[in-house]
Structures are given as C-alpha cells and as structure tokens.
Structure 1
C-alpha cells in the first residue's frame, strides 16, 4: 500500500484489503491494536497491523512460536463488549526434548489480550492434554518501527528519526525512537515470570508440563512518550479496571430490546463498538472516527455520531460540543485552513503532524462541521434542557454563525462555499472529500469555490437552531434575524439548487455558479435539515429509492446512470451506513415512513451478512444478488463511529421519535415498525434530569401502541399521525415532531 497526493487529496493506494488480512481490533483511549487472527502482528497485506499510541506505531511485530513453528489456529474472537480478544491455539507436530512425538492437539494455548490506556496486556496459557509430561520451547519476537500513521498509510518521508538498539534485562525489553520532532517514544515490554533467555528483542521460555498441568505467561507492553511511564498493573487488576470502565460507560445509556434476536445482536454490537470508539478527553466523551486510519477526533464525524446517538446517550453530544468549542479556531492560518469561528476537521498526534509535514495537527479544512456544530447544539438543548452547557458554549455558537456569514460565503452570493488555502490541505471539504467527489454531468471535475447542496441545508438548520436557543435566552433580535436569514436561504436554495431534469437537488454549484447536475445521496441530507419543501421532499424520496440509487442493501452515494458512477469507488457509487441513516431521518421529518422502512431494512439485512453484525465505514454499491451478501470495500475502517451509530438514527427515524426534556415529552410521529419487528422495549431512557423511563412500543391489531412500563407521571407520550396544519408554526417547531 502506498499513499499519493492527487491534487491535495491524501489518497490511500491499496495493494490488498483488510478482508485479506483478517485482522482483529482493540482500542482504549489513545491506543489501539490491529492483530492477525493468531494474535500476532505481521506486516502483510495492508501492513497496518501493530500497536499504536497517539498516531505512532509502537509495536510493528509480535511473533509467537512453539518449537520454531507457528501454532495452529482453533478460533479467534473478540468478546461481545470488545474488552478482550481471545485466541484458541494448539501445538503443531514436534518432537520434545526426550524425542517423544508431540502430535498436534495435545497442548491447548489460550491468548487473552486487551488494552487499558497506554498499556497492552496479554496472558498466554498453556494446558497439557497429553497423558505424559512435555518439555518444549516457546519464543516471542518483538519489533518497533515507530512509523507515523500516515507512513503506515503510505506517505513517503525523506528523513526519519533514530531508533535505538533494543535493551534487555531479566524480565524486560526496551525499544525506543527519537523523532525529528525531538520527542522520545519508548516501548517497554515486561514479562511474568521472567523468561529463561532474553536475546535483544527475542525472549525464550522453556516450559515443562505434567499431564493436565497449566502454565501462564503474562506480557505487558507500555507506550512511553518523553520518558513518561504509564502505570502498569497486574493482569488481574488491569482486567478489573477494564471491566469497571465499561460498566461505568454503559450505565448512562439506554438499553434497547426488540422481538427480533438478530436485530438485538446488531444493537448490542453497535453499543459495544460505540463504547470502544468513545475516548474520555479533558472535555468529556468523544467518539474517535475509525480504526485504523482515523482513530482521532474528527469534527464532522464526532458531530454526526453524537447526533445519531443523541436520544440514547446525550453525554456523547455534550462531550463533542465542549471539545469542539475548546478547539474552535480563533485566527487565520492558511496552512491549516483555519479562520476565526471555524470548527475542527481533525486533530492528530504523531511526528509528521508535530513537524508540519502534514497540516493535520489541528486542521480546519471542513466546510460542514461549523454549521453542524450549531445544529447539534440546538438538538442537544432540546433533548436535554441542559441550559448550563449551552450557555457555556454560547460564545462559540455565535462565533460559528459569524464564521458562516463572514468566511463561509466566499463570493457573497448567499451560499456557503469552500476553497482550500492550505498547500497540503483537502481539495474537497464536504463529507465526500475524495479528490473526484464533485463533478458535472459530463464527468468533468468541478472547479471551486464549491457550494454543496447539503452544506446550505446544514446552514439553514444551524440558523433555525441558533434562533431557537437565542429566543430561549432572551436574545429576541438575534432570533428574529437568524430566522429571517434561514427563510431567505430556504427560498433561494429551493429556487437555485433544484434540478427539473433530474427531479432532485443538484450536487453543488461550481465557482462559476454552474450546477453539478448529478443525482447523489447528498440531496437526502437536504431533508435531514428541513430545508426542502414538502413537494420537493417527496420527489427526492422517489429518487432515493429508485433502482439507480437503492442497491437493495442501501442508498448509493451516486446514481448508476451518472458518468462517474463506480460501485467500488470511495464516494461515487459506494454505500455508507451513516449516509443512509441521515437520509432516513430526513425522510421521517416529512412523514415518508415507507421509504424509511426500506432503508432500515436494507441496513439490517447488511448487518446480518457482516462479521459480528458490525456495519463497516462503507461497502461497494453493487446491486443486491439473491443468495449473496454485500461486497466489501477494500480499505474500509471497521469499526467506524458514525457507521456504528447509524442503527440508532435509523430506529429513531422509523419511530419518528423525539424527546423534549423541557416539556418532559416523548413524541412518536407516524411511527412504523417493519414486519420483522413487533415490539421494542427501551430501558433506562432518560427524559429529563428527574425522569428515567421504560418505554415499550408494540404492534396491536396492526396499530402501534406506546406504553411507559414504569411510574413516570410527569412524562407525556404522544403519537402523532398527521403533520401540523398551522402555516404560522415556525420551522424549528416542525423539526421537534419530525414533520
């Protein structure tokens, strides 16, 4: 795999896929690991295996052998809650020290491994099932290349820092690196019990086992930056701490149970993956984007993930809002595409970011994260009534709106556009940020500044949400101004971005205001924000579920008849779960529940065919074939946060679910359940600071009934089957009930 720059796009060149590597993934905090199925680390295929910390690979090889041979794989599984990866192995055929033939299957080897903050822990257990004593050698070999994550992705560097020669003593191996950034990085590997031999980066154990006897070897691998030593616990203590962490994170989120066991498995996998992806920062919980390439804070990804999971776990949204407020740009910096009030695109650790070889140490090249930040703030305020947090970040909300008005509209035409200023930044800065994602009907790439359709939709919702919050806080002048600007934008948008020939919203306007008249999934995001008129929303919905857009598994990013369609591309014909979830939510706002059910069913069917029912970042957009599952995309991240969160938003869309803490009210607008779901019970669902309910929704004689199973007299539950008729109702009130 290599990485090249096409324009300014950092593009991953794939020579193999993750499916080839058959990897297992663990993550905790700022650390993650990618292992092969035997629990080792080898640079094959994508060459992405390793133990990583803060954007650097601290271990690039881990090879375990028995009598100089790799053991035989029995099974390899990660626990349901993602805490522990377990590998069952057995011995290969070999002759022991006495010359006795040890046939395969006589020794059971169990490897248990997990991560806790800056340390990887492993327990290797050996159990002798032979009816005679055994005497054999095992070996562990370690290497550390200290590659930056962008080097692993394929970036070439003219110069690197210096690796130190491995140092060893009785129970420890030290490997280190001093980067060009003058930061030292050290991998400290310790063993219990101490091995008989330590030879540089190799340890050797001689193991003697009587029949049915067990031997346990404990290994810890700690990641040290600038000689700061993390606390290394005993294996048992570390297991307890890891379990306690998961339990503490779980306690505040809702639990969802349905009448369909496969659907329950999808939800359970998503919840476990969400816990894995969320990292506790100084500002609160933040869902890191994806493993392996994006295990770091991303603005857009974090906001959308928080939005998807808002109704089940609002604390994620709180952490995202506070983190992005704290990192909001305060000055102009062309290299990082920063402008005052702009919200972060991504924040990276690692040597290349530290040296400025890439602009991503704290990079702002995103056109949509800033309005989406305001959208999330408004949705969070409605969901929780948390006035304290919103008042705390209110200056950031105002700064974001100011950025939209001052910097977002580059040419003063009333629409928000992007054009990178960074010499190494991203050319395209919407969620479809690959180099070839924005083009005209004839396939020619569009030249900027680019005004994307969904960005105008996000800006519309941002001003509606900002107006709602301003009105609540007594800022009536600002509320009136932002409401007026939103309505003016809505009118102009529907006049300018609508394509009569395609019966949907165009993808974008180029720098000459020429429409990119192609059918894309971006149009569905215009329903998500509420900027679409009712009549146009119905036409977009028809386009979304047409054969050219809906593959049978999900909505493609690009229609099959368009010039640049390629089902194996990153953004021009592939299928993204989060994209489908956002479109489904948009459809539900216009009462288009039949289409919502189609999208929900497609993603549910996809989950059944995926390993562990884990939806990947994306998959290929080939038409569904009877008896076959969806086709994998070669370098998709898995897990990825906004793919993980898609099940929650899809379910919310189907139920037309809205929770308003200030009214202490749960609303279901035109709720539907597909044929394979007859009942849903949601436990530990917090409505406001004082009320936690158990909500059950079930089919009775073809109708849906909602019931609170616990005593919560202050909580109101309403089912609405029609859209409000009052034309004077303001747009944000329509949003509240998903009309």
Structure 2
C-alpha cells in the first residue's frame, strides 16, 4: 500500500475549504461519470487546488481551457446553464484591441459547451457587428494534469507521480498519462480539419478576418479515455446539435421514470423541476439498471447510503430507481472478510472509486465497506419497495442477499453482543465514524470529548428495527414463516430496549449514541429525528422531539441543525456539528408527520423551500451553514458542499410525501392519504403518472383553510384511493 501524509486533524478525508475559491462563481455541468466546473467565461484556470476542470471517473482530464482574442480575455456579458442542465451558454464580447483598431463590443462571441458519455464538446460562434472589417487571432489553450480527485480535495501524495505527455497530430492535441496503477488515461482534443487551425504545443490559434456582420464558427471535441474502459470511439463529424439531441433523448427517457408533479406556485415548480433534472443527470446506467451517483464534485460515484436514501426519497414517484438500486447493491454486496476495506460477508458497499489513488491503495475506497448503516438501509429499501410495488420477482432474485444482510446485522453488526448494532473501523486508513455523520469529530459526549468505539448510533438502531420489520414481511412472502416470526420478535425486542436505553428525559430526545461501555452521548443532535422516520420511537416521545427540533437551539429558520446551539462542539460552519443538511431534514420531517407532528414537518418544508429561493438555480446543496435566519438574506453557503447532490435534490419529493402522508400499497392496491396537509404556499397540486402496479393514477389536491380536498382524475379499476381526514 502506498502511504499518504498523516493529517494533524486525524481526518484524512475532510474536504478543505481551500479546495474551492469562492471569490468567483462557477458553473457546474455533469453527466454520469463526467463533470465540469467552469468559471463564468466558460474557462478553466490551472490555479493551485482550485477545483476547476473537467473530471472523468475520479480524475481531472482537463485543468486548463482558456479562450483569448489577441492575447486578451474577452468581456463577459452573461452565462448560464440551460434549464435541462445540458448546455452551458456563455455570451462574450471583445475588449478594445488597439493595434488592430477594433473597438470594444464589436464582436459577439457565443460559447456553447456540453458533455456526454465522457466527451466534452464546444461550439464558438463569432460575429462582427461593427461596420468595419475586423482582423484578430483567437486562441484556445489547453492543459491536462490528470490529478486524482483526492489530490484536489487536499491530500498530499508521498510518491513520485509521472508527468503527462503532450503530442500533436494535424488537427489534434493529445495528452497521455500512465499512472502508478498502470492505467493509461488520455485526453484527445479534435478540431475539424477544414477549420485550418494552427496548433503549437497545447494552444490552438485561428487567424480570423471578419467582414461587417460576417460570422465564423469554431467547434471541437475533447474525448476522455481510460484503458480500463475498453474501446471508445469519437465520431468527429457529429455536430454539437446532433450530440445534444442524443442527450435530450436520454433526458426524456429518464424523465419518464418520474411521476409528474405541478403546483400553483411557480417557485415551487422551479424547485421540483431543477431537482428532477439534477437527479436525472446523476443517474448512472449500470448492468443492473440506474443508480444515483452521490454528488459533484467530491462524490461523483456510487455510494451505498446515499443511493439508498435517494431511492427512498423518490420511491413514490420513481420506484424503478429503487428496484435498480437494490439490484446494484446486491451485486456489489461483500462476500468475504477484508479488514483493509472494512468488508464483512453480507455488508453493503459504502463507496466505489475508479481513480489512480484508489487503484494503488493510497486511499482504501476502490470498493470500500466502512459504513454501519447501508446494510440495514438496504433492507429497509427492499421492504419499502415491495410494499409499494408488490414486485415479488425482484425480491426473489435478491432474497439471498437480503438474508445475508440480516446475517451481517446479527453476526457482525452487533460488535459486543448487547443487541445494538455498533461500528469500530478495522481499516487503518478507513473512516473513523461510519454513520452518515462520518467526519472524525461528529460523535461526542456532552462535555465535547469524542466518543470512543464501538459506537451504537441512535438512528442506526432505528434502521435495524425497520429493516427487520420489513424483512419479516418479505419472509412471509417467501413462505419462510419461522424466519419471519423470528425477525418480528427481534424488532419488537429492539424497540423496547432501545426506548429504555436511548431516551433521555432531561434532553427531551434520544441520545446521539452509546459508547462501548454503554455511556450515553447526551447531546441534542438531528440523528434523533431519524428514530421517528423508522418508527422505533415510542409514540409518547414524538411531541417532545418535535418541540426540541422546532426550538431556536435546533431550528435555524431554514431547517434543523445537525447539532444544537447549546452543545459544546456546536459550530454552524462545521460539516456535521451545527450545519443544516437537507436530506437529514427531509427524513426528520417525514418522521414527524408520521407521528402526527405535521405542523413541525410543514415548518421544515417551508424553511427549505424558502432557502431554495436564494440558492443558485434552486439547486439544493449537500448542506449549508447553520446560522440563524436573517431578514432578507439567504442561507450561508458551506464552502465545499456538493451541488448537485443526489439525496439533497431528492428532498422535495420526500417533503411533499410527508405533508400529504401519501402511501402507495401495491400489495393491497390502495393509494392512501393519512390526515394530509399542504403548506400555505401551495394552494393546488396536480400529480399525474403516479405509478400504481402496471398502470398510473392521476389526481389533484386543493388546500382549504382547515383541510385539503382531492379530485381523483383517473385510477385503475381495481385500485382504491382512501383519504383519512
């Protein structure tokens, strides 16, 4: 194994704030394994650790892309990513070019940039709007450093890394890099031969002469190749429009996975549409179907926990994503012990990486299993998916994987045999904390000292409870009655002992965790809300949790903090100790509504909706800072939050399901609403193409002063719609 420099914080995998320079706004585009981070000019600058670039499979394949006119940077007019997330459109003009006699604002430059299937495309249209002839040079300068994403995040490598090689061939610029993992990575930039570009090293020059109102077009493609990919061919004659049409067809295909939701509030519609489009852009097509990648830029790969929770969030509108996720996770489930990767038989994957540092073992994440919650969450998702779809065939196919996951909980998850599932990392280079709050300082005692392993998190016990209850239902379906009854007893016993050991009357909530000596971490943290989501909480405690989560100590006005203001380690600018995570809030809101605390759930939904109005593109980020809401200001951004992030953009669907308390029961063929409500900013809602069995249901919802009413437009004849007011 190749060593990496030990960090003084003992947190190797923290994303440092210097990884981004937030004095400049950026544009992000992504398409599965490829994502781009540009400045507003559509350029990429090779400035230190700044995370500009085009990345493919965990490696930066372009770290420089600069457009100049006569060695000057154009003047920015405007730039934006188009609504379907498919094209970055940039409008520029020329500065004064004195020696050529060209006045400013004479030449309009429109850049259109686009990625698809590991290829970056750009078209540059130049038009002379002056009454004089303009002669000038246009240059495009490229660079490729092939840095691993973990280097961009701030990790130092203690090895001598090879240098990329540059070559040219007529109309091509080629960067080659063979890493320490012996994988060859290539960036091939191709211009059409008829454009007569002059290539010198890594710069392409065009000597242009434009008559008044004359136009000229430059276009090229950059293909990113990895020797592990197999053959990948670049069709040099395809125009950007042809490629764009191909992506639009893909967008239409993935859009058909979702039920359509429209409301009376255009801002809410904007949030919905952006969330769906962003989630579509993160759906990777695997041999097992679609799987949502976690997020750009740091986690643009398959994560178990993130993918499962995303699938849960959108289950009611897009059940195929859950089905495909279950298949993928079953196929990647661990079958052996491997302490270097924190792997054990039956355990569900934490993350998978394809970069050089993962391949060489500099980081342990090539196929890493250091998560305590992905396995019970996998079981939860299987139970939820079956209950909604009655898809017995899928459950039959993954039934051995389901039983292996249950066995992992009982045999490996309960480290000390006390009936609770704990974690203690075995990999010396792995994650110290292995719940969803996995930063090194996220789990602490009331005095601020860090908790000692093995650690039993409160929400994990809830996941295990729901997992065993749901799997018991599946066991009955599989005609394994004795197995089902054993799971039911285990779930009931766990709920009973959990509420005795984890509830703290003085705290008014469930404690964050128990350590190896069963000493409680008596801190008020958002994790307790997940206990409502899973149903492990006693009914009598729900009101107290709701009161705590809507207090000024926990609720910022935008959402629930990960840690209360009153706690020793509270820091609103931290990753997990006082920030606001949208997915966390959505799970909490659903749990609150489930226990009848609908007003608290609506408060969370309104806070996040209000936050979306201040956020660029209404793209809900991975997290934002936990400062108290200030009048006429938006939430304070966290400097290195992923955006788009799958389980963040999915929250709008779970929040909507929470306030409607909508359940689709494919077994009983019932669509039910249990005391549904709508927030005051939604007067009317239309949901069409809601998947019910092999058909769809369409209905409208109207908000009134005291309640809501429904109009069922269409439903299958053998399905019922039940509304409990």
TM exceeding 0.5: yes
Deviations 1:90-147 (A, max 9, x none): 1111046xx4x21221111111111111111111111111112211100011111111
Q: Which residue of 1 aligns with 2:232?
A: 230
1:351 CA drift (Å): 0.7
Q: Which residue of 2 aligns with 1:66?
A: 69
- Please say if 1:220 is aligned against 2:221: yes
- Please say if 1:709 is aligned against 2:713: yes
Question: CA–CA distance in 2 between the matches of 1:6 and 1:425?
Answer: 15
Deviations 1:358-407 (A, max 9, x none): 10000000000000000001111111121111111111110000000000
1:608 CA drift (Å): 0.5
Question: CA–CA distance in 2 between the matches of 1:546 and 1:317?
Answer: 34
Q: Which residue of 1 aligns with 2:661?
A: 656
SS in 2 for 1:538: helix
Equivalences for 1:153-552 in 2 at 5 Å?
Answer: 153-192=153-192, 193-226=194-227, 228-233=230-235, 234-235=238-239, 236-552=241-557
Question: CA–CA distance in 2 between the matches of 1:712 and 1:703?
Answer: 26
Q: Which residue of 1 aligns with 2:44?
A: 41
Query: For the structure 1 residues 45 and 143, does the alpha-carbon distance in structure 2 shift closer, same or farther, using more than 3 Å as the test?
Result: closer
**Residues 3 and 10, structure 1, Cα contact 8 Å, conserved in 2:** no
Question: CA–CA distance in 2 between the matches of 1:82 and 1:114?
Answer: 9
- Gaps in structure 2 of 5+ consecutive residues: none
SS in 2 for 1:402: helix
- Please say if 1:609 is aligned against 2:609: no
Deviates most, 223-232 or 328-337: 223-232
1:501 CA drift (Å): 1.1
Question: CA–CA distance in 2 between the matches of 1:209 and 1:31?
Answer: 36
**Residues 296 and 644, structure 2, Cα contact 8 Å, conserved in 1:** yes
Question: CA–CA distance in 2 between the matches of 1:3 and 1:67?
Answer: 46
**Residues 358 and 365, structure 2, Cα contact 8 Å, conserved in 1:** yes
Q: Which residue of 2 aligns with 1:718?
A: 722
Q: Which residue of 2 aligns with 1:734?
A: none
1:703 CA drift (Å): 2.9
Question: CA–CA distance in 1 between the matches of 2:337 and 2:23?
Answer: 44
- Please say if 1:645 is aligned against 2:646: no
Query: For the structure 1 residues 164 and 517, does the alpha-carbon distance in structure 2 shift closer, same or farther, using more than 3 Å as the test?
Result: closer
Q: Which residue of 2 aligns with 1:729?
A: none
Q: Which residue of 2 aligns with 1:24?
A: 27
Question: CA–CA distance in 1 between the matches of 2:32 and 2:294?
Answer: 13
SS in 2 for 1:15: helix
**Residues 621 and 645, structure 2, Cα contact 8 Å, conserved in 1:** yes
Deviations 1:341-372 (A, max 9, x none): 00000000011111111100000000000000
RMSD: 1.5
Question: CA–CA distance in 1 between the matches of 2:119 and 2:597?
Answer: 49
Q: Which residue of 2 aligns with 1:697?
A: 701
SS in 2 for 1:561: coil
Question: CA–CA distance in 2 between the matches of 1:701 and 1:529?
Answer: 31
1:6 CA drift (Å): 3.1
Question: CA–CA distance in 2 between the matches of 1:156 and 1:572?
Answer: 26
1:79 CA drift (Å): 0.9
- Please say if 1:143 is aligned against 2:148: no
SS in 2 for 1:20: coil
Q: Which residue of 2 aligns with 1:732?
A: none
Question: CA–CA distance in 2 between the matches of 1:144 and 1:275?
Answer: 28
1:14 CA drift (Å): 1.9
Question: CA–CA distance in 2 between the matches of 1:278 and 1:546?
Answer: 37
Question: CA–CA distance in 2 between the matches of 1:67 and 1:4?
Answer: 45
**Residues 3 and 154, structure 1, Cα contact 8 Å, conserved in 2:** no
Question: CA–CA distance in 2 between the matches of 1:15 and 1:117?
Answer: 30
Query: For the structure 1 residues 604 and 389, does the alpha-carbon distance in structure 2 shift closer, same or farther, using more than 3 Å as the test?
Result: same
Deviations 1:263-298 (A, max 9, x none): 111101101111111111111111111111000000
1:248 CA drift (Å): 1.0
SS in 2 for 1:21: coil
Query: For the structure 1 residues 562 and 224, does the alpha-carbon distance in structure 2 shift closer, same or farther, using more than 3 Å as the test?
Result: same
Question: CA–CA distance in 2 between the matches of 1:576 and 1:700?
Answer: 31
Question: CA–CA distance in 1 between the matches of 2:447 and 2:186?
Answer: 53
Q: Which residue of 2 aligns with 1:727?
A: none
Question: CA–CA distance in 2 between the matches of 1:5 and 1:682?
Answer: 52
Deviations 1:570-625 (A, max 9, x none): 00000000000000111111121111110000000000010111111000101111
**Residues 145 and 164, structure 2, Cα contact 8 Å, conserved in 1:** no
Question: CA–CA distance in 2 between the matches of 1:80 and 1:520?
Answer: 37
1:315 CA drift (Å): 1.3
Question: CA–CA distance in 1 between the matches of 2:29 and 2:707?
Answer: 43
**Residues 173 and 190, structure 2, Cα contact 8 Å, conserved in 1:** yes
Deviations 1:133-180 (A, max 9, x none): 211100011111111111111111122442343111221101110111
Query: For the structure 1 residues 701 and 535, does the alpha-carbon distance in structure 2 shift closer, same or farther, using more than 3 Å as the test?
Result: closer
Question: CA–CA distance in 1 between the matches of 2:465 and 2:506?
Answer: 25
Question: CA–CA distance in 1 between the matches of 2:492 and 2:27?
Answer: 49
Give the total of aligned pairs: 716
Question: CA–CA distance in 2 between the matches of 1:239 and 1:540?
Answer: 49
**Residues 258 and 680, structure 1, Cα contact 8 Å, conserved in 2:** yes
**Residues 191 and 197, structure 2, Cα contact 8 Å, conserved in 1:** no
Normalising by structure 1, we get a TM-score of: 0.95
SS in 2 for 1:425: coil
Question: CA–CA distance in 1 between the matches of 2:608 and 2:48?
Answer: 29
**Residues 298 and 642, structure 2, Cα contact 8 Å, conserved in 1:** yes
Displaced runs of 4 or more, over 4 A: none
SS in 1 for 2:185: strand
- Please say if 1:13 is aligned against 2:5: no
Question: CA–CA distance in 2 between the matches of 1:553 and 1:718?
Answer: 33
Question: CA–CA distance in 1 between the matches of 2:721 and 2:67?
Answer: 58
**Residues 414 and 489, structure 1, Cα contact 8 Å, conserved in 2:** yes
1:237 CA drift (Å): 2.2
Normalising by structure 2, we get a TM-score of: 0.97
Equivalences for 1:590-601 in 2 at 5 Å?
Answer: 590-601=595-606
1:242 CA drift (Å): 1.1
- Please say if 1:90 is aligned against 2:93: yes
Query: For the structure 1 residues 3 and 556, does the alpha-carbon distance in structure 2 shift closer, same or farther, using more than 3 Å as the test?
Result: farther
**Residues 160 and 179, structure 1, Cα contact 8 Å, conserved in 2:** no
